[in-house]
Homo-oligomer: A and B are copies of this chain.
Amino acid sequence: MTDYSTNMRMRLPVVCIVLEVILIILFGILVEYDGHTDAKKWHNNKTNDMENDFYYRYPSFQDVHVMIFIGFGFLMTFLQRYGFSSVGFNFLIAAFSLQWATIMQGVLHGLHHGKIHVGVLNMINADFCTGSVLISFGAVLGKTSPIQMLVMAIFEVTLFAVNEYILIVHLGARDAGGSMTIHTFGAYFGLMVTRVLYRPNLSKSKDRNCSVYHSDIFAMIGTIYLWMFWPSFNSAITALGDVQHRTALNTYYSLAACTLATYGFSALVNHEGKLDMVHIQNAALAGGVAVGTAGEMMLTPFGSMIVGFLAGTISVLGYKYLSPILESKLKIQDTCGVHNLHGMPGVLGAIVGAITAAAASSSIYGQGIVDVFPDINDEHTASQQALMQIASLAVTLGFALLGGLIVGFILKLPIYGAPPDTLCFEDSIYWEMPGEEESHGELTTVKTPEETEKLN
């Protein structure tokens, strides 16, 4: 039924199993419990079980976890015949990436006598890195094989960790919610990959590159979960106390303002004043992306709402006017429009972060300034911090674009079982398909790829 090029019989098992075996070996060599998860270490040092990191980070972790697996996974089910792959490959890529991220982030962010010490913060950071890979997945959705995605994840996780390391450790950047490290990086990396993988004849699959009624409602599950838990995402790894609290609050109001902007502009740009599900599903989230850097700062709810409003606006306008141009002029086929949801709002978030950092002072933060800007002191002014924030954006864009370019070419090799132009956005080439819904008394079966191909 399936021609050779997309048959995964040996390739996917070999890749999955070999990668997992390598991961297990690396974990065996490198990974140890940290002071909050190791029985002996904890009991040697502890004062009180209730001071374990678990109680202050794990609820945030679970919210982030839901965003990664339900949020991203279901957001991408909007395609009518790609629901299995959207949720299923999201699941596969994320399960791989979080393990690989534990290793790469652990190695870069500080080994302890040659060992990576793990606890709940590592779980959150691994999920964050995974989020970045899933953003890139959104750009190439429907046009790649699961093996291509795993290969992309191998490289992207590595580059993510290196970029993050440079930003946080060397440039001293603040980016708790990842406007730069997660969103900007993931979006531009993915856009460059999809540019390199450009398919001039993708229109042969255009009948499937759209939603149906129920698939749009499934996608709203993803949207709403991302929207609700974004306050937890942005605050998951900030300093404890007021910082975490403030970040959640800022994100809450930013998203609410963003949502009204999204509905307003979605109706405005439609010639009949109708709302477009693509905008609601995506642009309403841009407010979370855009306060990813500044959310922990004293941005105020007022400032957060302005940022959210702008983010929703540019995101809707991007979907309406910029995406068609990117596709026709720059040959960037961005399936989920990640440029509008993660790219531009991510850059906006980086700039807002720099501006807010520039305004930092002890008169605003009091003694709390060390929690948000540990580097700011008499030597290192707020303006210098702002400069480092902007430098971090530039570094991130550089890594993302260059990395995406190279990885794009690696993914172009004809060995991964990518779908032909006529069978993009189609589950049946990688999945055993169930029968179709009983209707008028007969059980019809799904068209085979060959039949589908003939139709095109």
Contacts and interface: CB of A to CB of B under 8 A. Distances in A.
Nearest to A212: B437
Contact of A2 (B32, B245, B272): B272
A27 B268 CA distance: 25
Interface in A116-148: 118-120, 123, 146
B62 A56 contact: no
A41 B245 CA distance: 13
A366 B40 contact: yes
B39 A364 contact: yes
A260 interface: yes
B23 A257 contact: yes
Contacts of A41: 242, 366
A39 B372 contact: yes
Nearest to A16: B264
A452 B440 CA distance: 12
Interface stretch (A302-310, A330-338, A399-407): A302-310
Interface stretch (A42-50, A339-347, A348-356, A381-389): A42-50
A246 B33 contact: yes
A438 interface: yes
Given A242-B37, A246-B33, A24 B302 contact: yes
Contact of A218 (B31, B217, B430): B217
A179 interface: no
A92 interface: yes
Given A24-B306, A228-B69, A253-B27, A277 B242 contact: no
Nearest to A24: B305
10 contacts: A7-B273, A12-B264, A33-B300, A42-B242, A43-B367, A49-B241, A50-B50, A50-B241, A92-B260, A95-B260
A413 interface: no
Contacts of A437: 80, 212-214
Contacts of A46: 241-242
A433 interface: yes
Interface string A411-451: 00000000000000000011111111111110110110000
A98 to B, nearest CB: 6
A112 interface: no
Contact of A37 (B55, B249, B433): B249
A40 B364 CA distance: 7
A271 B8 CA distance: 10
Interface in A217-246: 217-218, 220-221, 224-225, 227-229, 232, 239-246
A82 to B, nearest CB: 11
Sorting the interface of chain A by its residue count into under 10, 10 to 19, 20 to 34 or 35 or more gives 35 or more
Nearest to A216: B434
A434 B273 contact: no
Contacts of A239: 49
Contacts of A270: 9, 432
Interface stretch (A83-91, A154-162, A167-175, A190-198): A83-91
Contacts of A246: 33, 37-39
With most chain B CB atoms within 10 A of its CB, the pick from A62, A276, A280 is: A62
Nearest to A240: B49
Contacts of A243: 39
Contact of A1 (B40, B123, B218, B272): B272
Nearest to A53: B245
A358 interface: no
Contact of A434 (B1, B213, B229): B213
A225 B260 contact: no
